[in-house]
Amino acid sequence: MVVEFTGIDVSTDELGGAGTHARHSGVASVVVADLAAATIWVEELLDFLPSNVNELAPIVSTDDPDNRATPEAGELIPTTSTGSYDVRDVITSIADDGIYLELKPRWAGNVITAFTHMAGYSVGIVANQPISLAGTLDIPASQKAARFVAFCDAFNIPVLTLVDTPGFYPGKDLEWRGMIRHGAQLVFAYARATVPRICVILRKSYGGAYIVMDSKEMGNDLCLAWPCAELAVMGAGQAAAILQRRATPEERAAFEADYTARLLNPYIAAERGYIDAVIDPADTRREICASLHMLRDKREAIRSRKHDNTPL
């Protein structure tokens, strides 16, 4: 029928198979080998969820100490701002027993969405993935993260956001497809969420993506940053290209060095209240677990309304 109506020859799997919906459409959360594997995966997922939306997820017992140091987390970050790493390794280092369950791993790989436990609490993690599109946000990534944040909020699961992004992915195609509108879906999901929200800036947090990734302006409960964090409108190279476009190479190099030294650090943001604390990466798990204990009884008044005006 597809060939008859469109003239395009396409296989059944290409049109709507498991691989297509896992990699391209984002409809499938996971692809498994058989029913037994699907049952195991669903059981693992249900371990993170409450029995209904009016309850909190159960606290599970763990032998992993809340105050366990995580020095390996900071060692994962490359010495250069353009270097890449797998943010899954950071998640493994801070999670209870290093265990987490990733949703939609084959779709929008530039953002990771996963459930884990920390201090026994169920936690939903949204993390930029530097090894895919440098961790930039595009339309699929915005949709994936927004859907996950809304899922966590619906089931009273705290959201932990790990930030390392140079901004939104540029391009005419994305703009024509409504990048701003889809990016607004992620803004909307965070702004609407009433669950505990903790943000940790691992490295880069530039431009509009800084705001979107659960910044203090979005109303998070706690914003932490590692010492190597860079909060700015843009990186030094991009700033030099705009502000020093008529300068000599030597002048541009000097500008970039000064820009990096003065502006690309978390301490100015901390002074102005955009960050609550700059922490040693080794203390990341301890700080997050302590925050989860503190926010356990968080309650927000929800206004009665007909429905939200979601930017679909």
Mean pLDDT by groups of 10 residues along the chain of 312 residues: 64 78 90 95 96 92 97 93 94 98 97 98 98 96 97 97 95 89 94 97 95 95 96 88 87 89 90 96 98 92 79 82
Fold that domain 60-229+265-294 belongs to in CATH: 2-enoyl-CoA Hydratase; Chain A, domain 1 (3.90.226)
Q: What is the pLDDT of residue 24?
A: 87
Give how far the C-alpha of residue 56 lies from the chain's centroid of Cα atoms, to the nearest Å: 22
Residue 212 CB partners (closer than 8 Å, separation 6+)? 137, 142, 183, 186, 187, 190, 218
SS3 190: helix
**C-alpha distances out from residue 256 to 38, 237, 245, Å:** 51, 6, 12
pLDDT of residue 118: 98
How do the domains of the chain map onto residue ranges?
A: 12-46, 60-229+265-294
How is 101-124 classified by DSSP, letter by letter? EEESTTS-TTEEEEEEEETTEEEE
153: amino acid identity, one letter: D
CA distance 201 to 166: 12
Mutual angle of helices 284-294 and 87-94, in 10-degree steps: 60
b or e along 119-157 (b: 16 or more beta carbons within 10 Å of the residue's beta carbon)?
A: bbbbbbbbbbbbebbbbbbbbbbbbbbbbbbbbbbebbb
Partners of 91 in the beta sheet?
none
